[in-house]
Amino acid sequence: MISYLKMEKHVKNYVDDFMNRIIAKNPNEPEFHQAVREVVESLAPYILENPVLQKMKVLERIAEPERVIMFRVPWINDKGEVEINRGYRVQMNSAIGPYKGGIRFHSSVNLSILKFLAFEQTFKNSLTTLPMGGGKGGSDFNPKGKSDNEVMNFCQSFITELSRHIGSNIDVPAGDIGVGGREIGFMFGQYKRLRNEFTGTFTGKGIDWGGSLLRPEATGYGTSYFVQEMLATRNDTVEGKTVTISGSGNVAQYAAQKMTRLGAKVVTLSDSNGYIYDPDGLDEEKIEYVMELKNVFRGRIKEYADRYPSATYYEGQRPWHVKCDIAMPCATQNELDGDDAKALVANGCICVAEGANMPSTPEAIEVFLSHKLLYAPGKASNAGGVATSGLEMSQNSMRIAWSSEEVDAKLHAIMKNIHAACCEYGTEEDGYVNYVKGANIAGFIKVANAMLAQGIV
């Protein structure tokens, strides 16, 4: 993002015109507008220099989903009552490969959120260098407090409808908020039963039935590798740094584990009710406890403070006012606002790497960029998850399984590549790397070239 205020007039006009059309065509979709605006602001100068992109309306086409599927998901709860949720799959862009992206189950899920996620996914998947298009799906189903039986009933109904639209060369779903190994298992089982075919149509599968080693770890690990690369541009390392992390789900857990193993001190985790601050830092044993608490017992992060007296729980608050060197938002969109960003800067934070998708508001991003922080947008720093999904697809196609060392080496190389691409396209005149601009341009070029080559489709 270049500062909107500092934009040249013709660039600002292009952005305004583009956004006016997007808003008129997609009313009541604020998250989608936010994601598109960030990309358009980065790309506008590049597009204006390349008239063919304008003439062929490449960005306009990228911002229009190829297809949106929306469907009824009826299921029966443990009391024998009928429940009805709404299911979605946004098939955003297939220029460089089959649609690929996660499934989110959360009560807040709506079309705006899934369109923003599918839009982001298109650029992110392109950055991985693997052949994957962009997609995202989900439902307003809330898995919290549901029994395994209820979750299975829901997943089976969801997939009974979605199965018509997905396939290993068509659209390959994976996990996201509220969807982990358990849900992927139920969805894969029902899909296989309906199709009578064992395929790699989902990623994030169990190790014994086609999953890749290190897929659960990949997003958090990849974000940590990206932090290492960012710090290296300033001849710095992760060792000895204090880190605040939000969330306590899949991404947060493995970001905490990898950052700790790299020698950092992780002092916070959170959930939607509050955060814990442990000034002693998390260690392997504490992280194992969090994994068991969240993944097996499906408990709340508050319980961490009951178990470890060194920690304090702050109800209803977010961790961004805690002093840190590195902040890693790993929970959800718009969880870090302009005031939080100012507090991070005032407390000496030097690096923000997003494990979540679009966790920083536009105001927060403006603060990070104007203070020249090392700031990585999610589409660059959290791409290790989908990249490893891409590696899972490759292993499924070849009917082989790589060792965790092999997968880790490939993940590490991909994160370094993404970092290098951001530097190539995002380095400004004074040497500052604007990772937002770099990620948006680098992600766009491959998709745009593919679309130009494939004609008006």
Pick what 332 binds: ligand 2IT, ligand NDP, none; C-beta below 5 to 8 Å, kind-dependent.
ligand NDP
Q: Which lies closer to ligand 2IT via its Cβ, residue 2 or residue 447?
A: 447
Q: Which lies closer to ligand 2IT via its Cβ, residue 38 or residue 176?
A: 176
In the complex, residue closest to ligand NDP by CB: 249
Q: How far is the CB of 411 from ligand NDP (least distance, A)?
A: 12
Near ligand 2IT by CB under 6 A: residue from 38, 176, 340, 354: 176
Of 364, 328, 137, nearest in space to 248 by CA:
328
Q: Which lies closer to ligand 2IT via its Cβ, residue 278 or residue 408?
A: 408
Site string for ligand 2IT, 351-370 (x = CB under 6 A): ------x-------------
| Interaction of residue 134 with ligand 2IT, rule CB under 6 A | no
| Interaction of residue 151 with ligand 2IT, rule CB under 6 A | no
Q: How far is the CB of 221 from ligand NDP (least distance, A)?
A: 11
CA atoms within 13 A on the CB side of 213: 11
R_g over Cα of the chain: 21
Q: How far is the CB of 122 from ligand 2IT (least distance, A)?
A: 11
Among all chains, which residue has been given the structure tokens 């961790």? 319
Q: Token digits for 375?
A: 């700031």
Which residues are 171's β-sheet partners? 99, 167
In the complex, residue closest to ligand 2IT by CB: 102
| Interaction of residue 160 with ligand 2IT, rule CB under 6 A | no
Of residues 185-224, which lie at the interface with ligand 2IT (CB under 6 A)? 203
Pick what 335 binds: ligand 2IT, ligand NDP, none; C-beta below 5 to 8 Å, kind-dependent.
ligand NDP
The rounded distance, in Å, linking the Cα atoms of 183 and 156 is 10
Q: How far is the CB of 128 from ligand NDP (least distance, A)?
A: 11
Q: How far is the CB of 370 from ligand 2IT (least distance, A)?
A: 27
Q: Kindly provide the residue ranges of all beta strands, DSSP E only, lying in 342-401, ordered along the sequence.
A: 351-353, 374-376
- Cα distances (Å, whole numbers) of residue 374 to 25, 351, 357, 370: 35, 5, 17, 11
The rounded distance, in Å, linking the Cα atoms of 230 and 238 is 10
H or E element in which residue 33 lies: helix 30-49
Burial string for 165-187 (b: 16+ CB within 10 Å, else e) reads bbbeeebbbbbbbbbbbbbbbbb
Q: Which lies closer to ligand NDP via its Cβ, residue 244 or residue 332?
A: 332
Pick what 137 binds: ligand 2IT, ligand NDP, none; C-beta below 5 to 8 Å, kind-dependent.
none
The rounded distance, in Å, linking the Cα atoms of 294 and 300 is 7
Contacts with ligand NDP, residue ranges (CB under 6 A): 175-178, 180, 219, 247-252, 271-273, 330-332, 335, 355-357, 382, 385
- Cα distances (Å, whole numbers) of residue 270 to 292, 302, 338, 420: 15, 8, 19, 31
Q: Which lies closer to ligand 2IT via its Cβ, residue 174 or residue 238?
A: 174
Of 135, 143, 26, nearest in space to 73 by CA:
143
Stretch that binds ligand 2IT, among 137-145, 183-191, 287-295, 381-389 (CB under 6 A): 381-389
The rounded distance, in Å, linking the Cα atoms of 38 and 41 is 5
Residues belonging to the chain? 457
As annotated, the active-site residues are 136
Near ligand 2IT by CB under 6 A: residue from 216, 385, 426, 438: 385
Stretch that binds ligand 2IT, among 39-47, 189-197, 268-276, 382-390 (CB under 6 A): 382-390
- Cα distances (Å, whole numbers) of residue 11 to 20, 49, 370: 14, 11, 19
| Interaction of residue 340 with ligand 2IT, rule CB under 6 A | no
Strand order in the sheet with 82-93: 67-76, 82-93, 134-139, 99-105, 171-174
Q: Which lies closer to ligand NDP via its Cβ, residue 41 or residue 271?
A: 271
Q: Which lies closer to ligand NDP via its Cβ, residue 14 or residue 115?
A: 115
Pick what 203 binds: ligand 2IT, ligand NDP, none; C-beta below 5 to 8 Å, kind-dependent.
ligand 2IT
Q: How far is CA 424 from the centre of its chain?
A: 22
The footprint of ligand 2IT (CB under 6 A) covers 100-102, 121, 124, 174, 176, 203, 357, 385-386, 389
